[in-house]
Amino acid sequence: MSEAGAQPEAPPRSAPGSPPSPRVRVATLADTGPVAAAIELLLVELGGERPARAELEAATRELIEDPRSGALLVAETDGEIVGVCAASWQHALHVPGRYGTVQDLWVDPSWRSRAIGRELLEALFALAREQGIPRIEVGLPQDSFAAIEATRSFYLANGFAPLGPRMRWLLR
């Protein structure tokens, strides 16, 4: 997924009287509800299907409780989550070994263009390095997404290189 409405980001800044720049940290179980709500907003913005809130919360708890399966990072300021990055750890022969996939990256619209997406990615890269994971991938939204070019530019500006389109098959 992408950072919806992504724009190439400038360094973080706090104007006098404005909230401080968010800090990025690993999510805790207390973040379950707010993270699920953020992912719901991301899915609405992307025009995707939305699972029930209970399903989003269950998936959030699962990722928080099993850091071997991936990473869940939040950007918060004054106790409010303003950014989320969820990634899964994969194993592949072609890498070879483990690699990461950014599954969800969201920044609150009022906080975009303040380098929060970049900070979330940098924190993810640091976690991956600690675990010996040498590669991170991301799938972009469909070309019909209104901010696809901004999203593509965001990832290119943050060191990603195109791999080609992805496809899926739903087993129902």
Query: Which pLDDT belongs to residue 164?
Result: 86
Q: Does 15 fall in a domain?
A: no
Q: Does 6 fall in a domain?
A: no
Domain count, the chain: 1
Q: Does 81 fall in a domain?
A: yes
Query: Which pLDDT belongs to residue 19?
Result: 62
pLDDT along the chain (172 residues), means of 10: 40 51 96 97 90 96 96 96 97 90 96 95 97 94 90 95 88 88
Q: Does 92 fall in a domain?
A: yes
Q: Does 14 fall in a domain?
A: no
- Distance (Å) of CA 132 to CA 112, 124, 125, 137, 141: 30, 12, 10, 15, 28
Q: Does 51 fall in a domain?
A: yes
Please give the Cα distance from 69 to 64 (Å, whole number).
Answer: 9
The boundaries of the domain holding residue 87 are: 23-157
Going by C-beta distance under 8 Å and a sequence separation of 6 or more, which residues neighbour residue 136? 87, 99, 100, 101, 102, 124, 125, 128, 160
Over residues 143-167, the pLDDT tens digits come to 889 899 999 999 999 999 999 888 8
Q: Does 144 fall in a domain?
A: yes
Global pTM reads 0.86
Query: Which pLDDT belongs to residue 81?
Result: 97
Query: Which pLDDT belongs to residue 17?
Result: 56
Instruction: Report the CATH number that the domain containing residue 116 is assigned in CATH.
Output: 3.40.630.30
Q: Does 90 fall in a domain?
A: yes
